[in-house]
Amino acid sequence: MAQIKVNLFANLRRFNPGGPEAGEFPLEVEEGSTLSDLFRELGVPKEEVKIVFVNNLRRQKDYVLQEGDRVGIFPPVAGG
């Protein structure tokens, strides 16, 4: 198993197990889990995910999660 930290943002906050305002939460995932597996576990529809950062780097859905990773999951956002 690998211990990671996860945060969901904007309209995806509704999938935070602690509620939309809970912020970052710890999670244990099986060794070899990918970001796609993580979306499934959290019940986040993959078509709603636009961008994922892991440890401040943008990662694709097939990225394999590592012990200590900090994951930030975003729907489409913009501003300026």
Q: How many whole angstroms from its chain centre is CA 67?
A: 14
Question: Taking contact as CB under 8 A, which single stretch among the options 16-24, 28-36, 37-45, 61-69 is the one that binds another protein?
Answer: 16-24
Give the Cα separation of 68 and 79 in Å (integer).
30
Are 44 and 12 in contact by the 8 Å Cβ rule? The answer is yes
14 binds another protein, rule: CB under 8 A? no
Q: Nearer Cβ to another protein, position 51 or 64?
A: 51
Residue 66 lies near another protein (rule: CB under 8 A): no
Among 5, 14, 30, 77, binds another protein (CB under 8 A): 77
Residue 38 in contact with residue 5, Cβ under 8 Å? Answer: no
Task: Indicate whether 26 belongs to the interface with another protein (CB under 8 A).
Answer: no
